[in-house]
């Protein structure tokens, strides 16, 4: 891609300048280096890379099986396996090449204080931003339990806000009744951006043994199957965000140029790619190219012009 084309893709996302609206999603790309094993893959093709969900203490995660393909999607219940925030900051971040992309930490906890403590640890690090995961469906405490309650969501965001001056992106769950209200409360509590949506809760059953296939019994559903739900949620959250200038990373099932464009039009400023990487590890340059081609075809000079350009049927 030439420089002029690349410039069309540049976005400002709550103060971070991203060279592409594509964001690689937490839990799909380990701690930032894993996909570089693949020849032809580069972190530079993504505007940002979200690291695996990180807690204060190390976690072993759930028992296997942890992943399972379902119709146009997959279930996962990893259980936030991670080496703990201190290890990530001391041992992993120094090995990342921050000239390649923006790296975003993904924070989890089972108490408000734990979220804040993890935020404090990352605050004193080169990390570019923090995503607060109040929507993990795969752990017993915290996670989605916070995300489904607007009061708790706001408390987590407020506590992290106090702990850091770096940009905070709140990751919202689709497993809740009024996502727009929750978003409003998180904005009041000081979030700089949103990630919409995390996985939906689901199950798959082994009919021979009559047991759930996923070791954790239930898991988070991601991939193309969830895209229509994700799009509607982005549209709903955008209605709240628009007046505050708060940007959204739209995500859930993005697997083609068409999908990425739909999220942008629905109100996203950046577009997350997770499960699709499992299908095609070289998808990012294809999406970037396709977005640029679309912009040119529509006489647009910049990807930001697409954000929220949806015209509802009257």
Partner 1 sequence: MNKPHRDTICVEEAEIISHDAWPGNQYILRILAEGIAADAKPGSFVHLTVDPQRPMRRPISIMRANPKTGMVDLLYKVVGEGTTLLSHRKPGERINVMGPIGNGFTVDQTRSLPLLIGGGVGMPPMIFLAEHYTELAGYHPFVILGSEVPFPFQAEPSKLIIPGMPDGVIAGVPLLEEWGIPSRLTSLQGYPGCHEGYVTDLARQWLDAMDESDRKQVIIYSCGPHPMLEAVAKLAKAYNLPCQVSLEEFMACAVGGCAGCVVKVETDTGPAMKRVCVDGPVFEAATVF
Ligand X SMILES: Cc1cc2nc3c(=O)[nH]c(=O)nc-3n(C[C@H](O)[C@H](O)[C@H](O)COP(=O)(O)OP(=O)(O)OC[C@H]3O[C@@H](n4cnc5c(N)ncnc54)[C@H](O)[C@@H]3O)c2cc1C
Ligand Y SMILES: Cc1cc2nc3c(=O)[nH]c(=O)nc-3n(C[C@H](O)[C@H](O)[C@H](O)COP(=O)(O)O)c2cc1C
CB of 206 to ligand Y, least distance (A): 20
199 binds, among partner 1, ligand Y, ligand X, none (CB under 5 to 8 A by kind): ligand Y
CB neighbours of residue 50 within 10 Å: 30
- Site residues (vs ligand Y, CB under 6 A): 25-28, 52-53, 76, 78, 80, 106, 133, 136, 171, 198-199, 222-223, 226, 251-254, 272-276
Q: How far is the CB of 69 from ligand X (least distance, A)?
A: 4
CB of 209 to ligand Y, least distance (A): 24
Nearer to partner 1, 25 or 306 (CB): 25
> Are 140 and 216 in contact, with CB atoms under 8 Å apart?
no
Q: DSSP code of 99?
A: T
Q: Which does 47 bind (CB under 5 to 8 A by kind): ligand Y, ligand X, partner 1, none?
A: none
**Angstrom distance (rounded) from CA 273 to CA 47:** 11
Q: Is there a catalytic annotation at residue 14?
A: no
What is the DSSP annotation of 144-199?
A: HHHHT-HHHHHHHHHHHHHH--S-EEEEE-SSSS-HHHHHHHHHHTT--EEEE--P
Q: Which is nearer to partner 1, 27 or 147 (CB)?
A: 27
CB of 28 to ligand Y, least distance (A): 5
User: What CA–CA distance (Å, rounded) separates 205 from 222?
Assistant: 17
Among ligand Y, ligand X, partner 1, none, residue 64 binds (CB under 5-8 Å by kind) = partner 1
Q: If binding is defined by CB under 6 A, does position 69 make contact with ligand X?
A: yes
For partner 1, the binding residues (CB under 8 A) are: 27-30, 33-40, 52, 60-61, 64-69, 72, 74, 76, 78, 81, 95, 97, 223-224, 255, 275, 277-282
Distance CA 279, CA 272 (A): 15
State the minimum distance, in angstroms, from the CB of residue 30 to ligand X.
18
The structure tokens listed for 128 are 């570019």
Count the residues in the chain: 314
136, 160, 241, 284: the active-site residue: 136
Contacts for 140 with CB less than 8 Å, ≥ 6 apart: none
**For residues 22 and 41, is the Cβ–Cβ distance under 8 A?**
no
**Residue 296 C-alpha from the chain's centroid:** 27
Q: Which residue number, 78 or 237, has a Cβ lying nearer to ligand Y? A: 78
Residue from 149, 80, 146 nearest 112 by CA: 146
Contact residues toward ligand X (CB under 6 A) are 68-69
Would you please indicate which residues are annotated as catalytic (active-site) residues?
136
């Amino acid at each position: 891609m030439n420089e002029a084309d690349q410039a069309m893709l540049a976005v400002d996302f709550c103060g971070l300048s991203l060279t592409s609206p594509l964001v690689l999603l937490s839990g799909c790309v380990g701690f930032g280096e894993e996909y570089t094993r693949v020849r032809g893959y580069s972190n530079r093709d993504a505007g940002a890379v979200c690291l695996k969900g990180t807690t204060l203490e190390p976690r072993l995660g759930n028992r296997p099986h942890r992943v399972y393909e379902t119709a146009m999607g997959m279930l996962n219940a990893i259980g936030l396996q991670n080496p703990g925030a201190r290890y990530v900051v001391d041992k992993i971040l120094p090995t990342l090449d921050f000239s390649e992309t923006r790296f975003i930490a993904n924070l989890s906890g089972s108490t408000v204080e734990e979220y804040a403590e993890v935020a404090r640890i990352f605050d004193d690090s080169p990390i570019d931003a923090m995503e607060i995961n109040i929507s993990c469906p795969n752990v017993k405490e915290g996670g989605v339990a916070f995300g489904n309650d607007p009061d708790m969501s706001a408390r987590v965001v407020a506590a992290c806000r106090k702990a850091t001056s770096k940009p905070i992106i709140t990751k919202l769950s689709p497993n809740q009744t009024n996502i727009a209200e929750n978003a409003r409360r998180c904005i009041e509590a000081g979030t700089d951006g949103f990630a919409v949506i995390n996985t939906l809760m689901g199950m798959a059953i082994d009919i021979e043994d009559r047991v759930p296939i996923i070791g954790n019994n239930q898991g988070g559903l991601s991939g193309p199957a969830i895209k229509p739900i994700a799009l509607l949620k982005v549209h709903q959250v955008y209605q709240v965000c628009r007046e505050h200038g708060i940007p959204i990373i739209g995500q859930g099932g993005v697997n083609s140029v068409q999908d990425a464009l739909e999220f942008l039009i629905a109100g996203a400023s950046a577009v997350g790619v997770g499960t699709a990487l499992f299908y095609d590890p070289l998808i990012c340059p294809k999406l970037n190219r396709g977005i640029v081609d679309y912009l040119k075809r529509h006489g647009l000079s910049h990807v930001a012009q697409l954000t929220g350009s949806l015209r509802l049927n009257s």
